Protein backbone atom coordinates (compact mmCIF):
# COMPACT_ATOMS: atom_id res chain seq x y z
CA UNK A 1 0.00 0.00 0.00
CA UNK A 2 1.48 3.34 -1.07
CA UNK A 3 1.91 6.13 1.59
CA UNK A 4 0.12 9.33 0.75
CA UNK A 5 2.25 12.49 0.65
CA UNK A 6 0.94 15.83 1.88
CA UNK A 7 0.94 18.50 -0.78
CA UNK A 8 3.69 21.07 -0.40
CA UNK A 9 2.37 24.54 0.50
CA UNK A 10 5.08 26.70 -0.98
CA UNK A 11 3.43 29.99 -0.04
CA UNK A 12 3.05 29.01 3.62
CA UNK A 13 6.65 27.83 3.90
CA UNK A 14 7.86 31.01 2.28
CA UNK A 15 5.92 33.13 4.78
CA UNK A 16 7.40 31.14 7.69
CA UNK A 17 10.89 31.58 6.32
CA UNK A 18 10.32 35.30 5.99
CA UNK A 19 9.11 35.53 9.59
CA UNK A 20 12.21 33.68 10.84
CA UNK A 21 14.46 35.92 8.77
CA UNK A 22 12.72 39.07 10.02
CA UNK A 23 13.03 37.88 13.63
CA UNK A 24 16.74 37.19 13.20
CA UNK A 25 17.28 40.60 11.62
CA UNK A 26 15.42 42.27 14.51
CA UNK A 27 17.48 40.42 17.08
CA UNK A 28 20.68 41.33 15.26
CA UNK A 29 19.71 44.98 15.04
CA UNK A 30 18.77 44.95 18.73
CA UNK A 31 22.13 43.55 19.71
CA UNK A 32 23.92 46.01 17.48
CA UNK A 33 21.96 49.01 18.75
CA UNK A 34 22.07 48.06 22.46
CA UNK A 35 25.47 49.66 23.11
CA UNK A 36 24.40 52.77 21.24
CA UNK A 37 21.20 53.05 23.26
CA UNK A 38 23.05 52.36 26.51
CA UNK A 39 25.62 55.03 25.65
CA UNK A 40 22.86 57.50 24.85
CA UNK A 41 21.18 56.83 28.19
CA UNK A 42 24.55 56.89 29.98
CA UNK A 43 25.38 60.36 28.69
CA UNK A 44 21.90 61.79 28.26
CA UNK A 45 21.28 65.21 29.85
CA UNK A 46 17.83 63.90 30.74
CA UNK A 47 19.52 61.43 33.12
CA UNK A 48 21.64 64.05 34.88
CA UNK A 49 21.71 64.16 38.68
CA UNK A 50 18.86 66.37 39.84
CA UNK A 51 19.17 66.09 43.62
CA UNK A 52 21.71 65.09 46.25
CA UNK A 53 19.85 63.90 49.33
CA UNK A 54 22.32 64.39 52.18
CA UNK A 55 21.85 62.68 55.53
CA UNK A 56 24.27 64.48 57.85
CA UNK A 57 24.20 64.55 61.68
CA UNK A 58 24.81 67.95 63.29
CA UNK A 59 28.45 69.03 63.28
CA UNK A 60 29.90 71.08 66.16
CA UNK A 61 31.65 73.57 63.89
CA UNK A 62 29.93 75.61 61.19
CA UNK A 63 32.88 75.50 58.81
CA UNK A 64 32.89 71.69 58.98
CA UNK A 65 29.25 71.49 57.94
CA UNK A 66 29.75 73.97 55.11
CA UNK A 67 32.77 72.09 53.80
CA UNK A 68 30.95 68.77 53.99
CA UNK A 69 27.95 70.10 52.09
CA UNK A 70 30.19 71.71 49.46
CA UNK A 71 32.01 68.42 48.87
CA UNK A 72 28.69 66.61 48.43
CA UNK A 73 27.71 68.79 45.48
CA UNK A 74 27.68 67.18 42.03
CA UNK A 75 28.65 69.29 38.97
CA UNK A 76 25.61 70.41 36.99
CA UNK A 77 24.78 68.09 34.10
CA UNK A 78 26.61 65.04 35.50
CA UNK A 79 24.76 61.93 34.24
CA UNK A 80 23.63 59.75 37.13
CA UNK A 81 25.24 56.61 35.69
CA UNK A 82 28.57 58.36 35.11
CA UNK A 83 28.91 59.40 38.75
CA UNK A 84 31.80 57.46 40.32
CA UNK A 85 30.18 56.73 43.68
CA UNK A 86 33.34 55.02 44.95
CA UNK A 87 35.55 58.06 44.40
CA UNK A 88 32.74 60.32 45.61
CA UNK A 89 32.66 58.46 48.96
CA UNK A 90 36.46 58.30 49.24
CA UNK A 91 36.67 62.07 48.81
CA UNK A 92 34.26 62.62 51.69
CA UNK A 93 36.06 60.11 53.91
CA UNK A 94 39.18 62.28 53.70
CA UNK A 95 37.49 64.89 55.88
CA UNK A 96 38.92 64.47 59.40
CA UNK A 97 35.50 64.42 61.09
CA UNK A 98 33.98 61.80 58.73
CA UNK A 99 34.17 58.16 59.81
CA UNK A 100 32.31 56.56 56.90
CA UNK A 101 30.08 57.37 53.92
CA UNK A 102 27.52 55.42 51.93
CA UNK A 103 26.37 56.60 48.49
CA UNK A 104 23.42 55.17 46.54
CA UNK A 105 21.75 56.01 43.23
CA UNK A 106 17.96 56.38 43.57
CA UNK A 107 15.13 56.78 41.05
CA UNK A 108 14.30 60.23 39.69
CA UNK A 109 18.03 60.96 39.19
CA UNK A 110 18.68 61.31 42.92
CA UNK A 111 21.86 60.52 44.84
CA UNK A 112 21.52 59.65 48.53
CA UNK A 113 24.59 60.37 50.68
CA UNK A 114 24.68 59.16 54.27
CA UNK A 115 27.58 60.54 56.37
CA UNK A 116 28.69 58.96 59.65
CA UNK A 117 30.74 61.22 61.89
CA UNK A 118 33.65 60.52 64.23
CA UNK A 119 32.83 60.94 67.92
CA UNK A 120 35.61 62.29 70.17
CA UNK A 121 36.43 60.33 73.33
CA UNK A 122 39.58 62.09 74.57
CA UNK A 123 41.55 65.33 74.25
CA UNK A 124 45.20 64.68 73.44
CA UNK A 125 47.67 67.20 74.82
CA UNK A 126 50.67 67.24 72.48
CA UNK A 127 53.34 69.95 72.22
CA UNK A 128 51.14 72.54 73.88
CA UNK A 129 48.11 71.90 71.67
CA UNK A 130 45.00 69.84 72.35
CA UNK A 131 43.37 67.58 69.79
CA UNK A 132 40.12 65.61 69.83
CA UNK A 133 40.61 61.88 69.24
CA UNK A 134 37.98 59.27 68.45
CA UNK A 135 38.00 55.68 69.71
CA UNK A 136 40.12 54.59 66.71
CA UNK A 137 42.85 57.14 67.41
CA UNK A 138 41.90 59.46 64.54
CA UNK A 139 42.69 63.15 65.07
CA UNK A 140 39.42 64.98 64.41
CA UNK A 141 40.00 68.65 65.20
CA UNK A 142 41.56 71.01 67.77
CA UNK A 143 39.81 70.46 71.09
CA UNK A 144 36.79 72.70 71.60
CA UNK A 145 36.46 74.54 74.90
CA UNK A 146 33.09 72.99 75.70
CA UNK A 147 34.01 69.48 74.59
CA UNK A 148 34.29 68.14 78.16
CA UNK A 149 36.70 65.36 77.21
CA UNK A 150 39.22 63.58 79.45
CA UNK A 151 42.71 64.92 78.88
CA UNK A 152 45.28 62.43 77.60
CA UNK A 153 49.05 62.78 77.40
CA UNK A 154 51.26 60.18 75.72
CA UNK A 155 55.01 60.07 76.19
CA UNK A 156 57.22 59.51 73.17
CA UNK A 157 57.09 60.67 69.54
CA UNK A 158 53.74 61.11 67.81
CA UNK A 159 52.88 62.48 64.36
CA UNK A 160 49.77 64.51 65.19
CA UNK A 161 47.72 66.31 62.53
CA UNK A 162 44.06 66.53 61.57
CA UNK A 163 42.92 63.41 59.73
CA UNK A 164 45.88 61.30 60.91
CA UNK A 165 45.07 58.00 62.64
CA UNK A 166 47.44 57.49 65.59
CA UNK A 167 48.44 53.88 66.22
CA UNK A 168 50.51 51.81 68.60
CA UNK A 169 50.23 50.34 72.11
CA UNK A 170 50.58 53.71 73.82
CA UNK A 171 47.67 55.19 71.91
CA UNK A 172 45.52 52.09 72.34
CA UNK A 173 46.18 52.04 76.09
CA UNK A 174 45.33 55.71 76.52
CA UNK A 175 42.10 55.45 74.55
CA UNK A 176 41.06 52.33 76.43
CA UNK A 177 41.61 54.15 79.72
CA UNK A 178 39.60 57.16 78.52
CA UNK A 179 36.71 55.00 77.32
CA UNK A 180 36.53 52.91 80.48
CA UNK A 181 36.88 55.82 82.88
CA UNK A 182 34.46 58.27 81.25
CA UNK A 183 31.39 56.92 83.09
CA UNK A 184 33.10 56.68 86.49
CA UNK A 185 32.16 59.61 88.71
CA UNK A 186 35.20 59.02 90.91
CA UNK A 187 37.47 59.74 87.93
CA UNK A 188 35.65 62.79 86.60
CA UNK A 189 38.13 65.32 85.31
CA UNK A 190 41.07 62.93 85.68
CA UNK A 191 44.05 63.55 83.43
CA UNK A 192 45.33 60.34 81.87
CA UNK A 193 49.02 59.81 81.27
CA UNK A 194 50.65 57.02 79.27
CA UNK A 195 54.39 56.48 79.44
CA UNK A 196 56.64 54.98 76.77
CA UNK A 197 55.99 51.46 78.08
CA UNK A 198 52.20 52.02 77.61
CA UNK A 199 51.64 52.08 81.39
CA UNK A 200 48.62 54.14 82.49
CA UNK A 201 48.37 56.71 85.26
CA UNK A 202 45.34 58.79 86.32
CA UNK A 203 45.99 62.20 87.87
CA UNK A 204 42.65 62.53 89.58
CA UNK A 205 40.61 65.67 90.25
CA UNK A 206 41.28 65.38 94.01
CA UNK A 207 45.08 65.32 93.49
CA UNK A 208 45.30 61.55 94.06
CA UNK A 209 47.62 59.80 91.61
CA UNK A 210 46.28 56.41 90.50
CA UNK A 211 48.89 54.07 89.06
CA UNK A 212 47.18 51.45 86.86
CA UNK A 213 50.09 49.91 84.97
CA UNK A 214 49.40 48.29 81.60
CA UNK A 215 45.98 47.97 80.00
CA UNK A 216 45.59 44.28 80.89
CA UNK A 217 42.92 43.78 83.57
CA UNK A 218 42.07 47.49 83.41
CA UNK A 219 38.33 46.87 84.11
CA UNK A 220 39.28 45.03 87.31
CA UNK A 221 41.70 47.79 88.30
CA UNK A 222 39.08 50.49 87.78
CA UNK A 223 36.55 48.44 89.73
CA UNK A 224 38.96 48.50 92.70
CA UNK A 225 39.28 52.28 92.40
CA UNK A 226 35.51 52.64 92.23
CA UNK A 227 35.12 50.55 95.38
CA UNK A 228 37.79 52.53 97.24
CA UNK A 229 36.00 55.81 96.50
CA UNK A 230 32.66 54.33 97.47
CA UNK A 231 34.06 53.35 100.86
CA UNK A 232 36.23 56.48 101.28
CA UNK A 233 34.91 59.45 99.25
CA UNK A 234 37.58 61.63 100.90
CA UNK A 235 40.42 59.20 100.24
CA UNK A 236 42.59 62.18 99.27
CA UNK A 237 42.83 63.05 102.96
CA UNK A 238 44.55 59.75 103.60
CA UNK A 239 46.36 58.82 100.42
CA UNK A 240 48.26 60.74 97.79
CA UNK A 241 48.72 57.72 95.53
CA UNK A 242 46.84 54.48 94.89
CA UNK A 243 48.59 51.66 93.05
CA UNK A 244 46.28 49.09 91.43
CA UNK A 245 48.90 47.60 89.12
CA UNK A 246 47.95 44.34 90.83
CA UNK A 247 44.18 44.70 91.41
CA UNK A 248 44.13 41.88 93.96
CA UNK A 249 46.71 43.70 96.09
CA UNK A 250 46.13 47.47 95.84
CA UNK A 251 48.59 49.70 97.65
CA UNK A 252 48.62 53.31 98.74
CA UNK A 253 51.02 56.07 99.73
CA UNK A 254 49.93 58.09 102.75
CA UNK A 255 49.25 61.75 102.02
CA UNK A 256 50.97 62.89 105.23
CA UNK A 257 54.15 61.01 104.33
CA UNK A 258 54.31 62.68 100.92
CA UNK A 259 53.91 66.16 102.43
CA UNK A 260 56.68 65.36 104.90
CA UNK A 261 58.91 64.29 102.01
CA UNK A 262 58.25 67.59 100.24
CA UNK A 263 59.07 69.63 103.34
CA UNK A 264 62.30 67.75 103.97
CA UNK A 265 63.31 68.10 100.31
CA UNK A 266 62.72 71.85 100.46
CA UNK A 267 64.65 72.18 103.71
CA UNK A 268 67.65 70.34 102.32
CA UNK A 269 67.77 72.66 99.32
pLDDT tens-digit series, residues 135-148: 999 999 999 988 88
Fold: same for 46-117 and 120-268: no
Could you please state the CATH topology (level 3) that the domain comprising 120-268 is classified under. Answer: Rossmann fold (3.40.50)
* pLDDT on residue 269: 37
Lowest mean pLDDT among 110-114, 122-126, 181-185: 181-185
> CB neighbours (10 Å) of residue 147?
14
pLDDT in tens, 122-138: 999 999 999 999 999 99
Mean pLDDT, residues 180-200 taken together: 93
pLDDT in tens, 32-58: 544 544 444 444 555 788 999 999 999
* pLDDT on residue 256: 73
* pLDDT on residue 142: 97
Q: Taking a C-beta distance cutoff of 8 angstroms, is the pair 140, 164 a contact?
A: no
pLDDT in tens, 245-254: 999 999 999 9
* pLDDT on residue 262: 42
CA nearest 200: which of 229, 171, 220, 224?
Answer: 171
Q: Which residue has the higher pLDDT, 151 or 48?
A: 151
User: Does position 260 have pLDDT exceeding 50, yes or no?
Assistant: no
Percent of the chain with pLDDT over 90: 67
User: Does position 5 have pLDDT exceeding 80, yes or no?
Assistant: no
Give residues with Cβ within 8 angstroms of 208, minimum separation 6: 235, 236, 239, 240, 241, 242
* pLDDT on residue 158: 94
* pLDDT on residue 266: 41
What does the alpha-carbon distance between residue 175 and residue 152 come to, in Å, rounded to a whole number? 8
Average pLDDT over the chain reads 85
Domain 46-117 sits in which CATH superfamily?
A: membrane protein fhac (3.10.20.310)
**β-strands 110-117, 139-142: how paired?**
unpaired
Lowest mean pLDDT among 81-85, 123-127, 217-221: 81-85
Give the three-state DSSP class for 189: coil
Q: How confident is the model at residue 13 (pLDDT cuts 50, 70, 90)?
A: low
- Residue ranges covered by each domain of the chain: 46-117, 120-268
Amino acid sequence: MKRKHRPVNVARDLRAARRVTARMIAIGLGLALAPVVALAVYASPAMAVREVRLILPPLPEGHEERRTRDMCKVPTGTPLLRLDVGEYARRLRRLPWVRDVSVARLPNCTVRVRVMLRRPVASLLHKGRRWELDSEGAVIRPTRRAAGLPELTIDGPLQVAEGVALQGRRVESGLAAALMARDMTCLRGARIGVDQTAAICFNNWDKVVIVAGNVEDLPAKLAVIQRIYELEPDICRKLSEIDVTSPRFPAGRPAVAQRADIRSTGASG
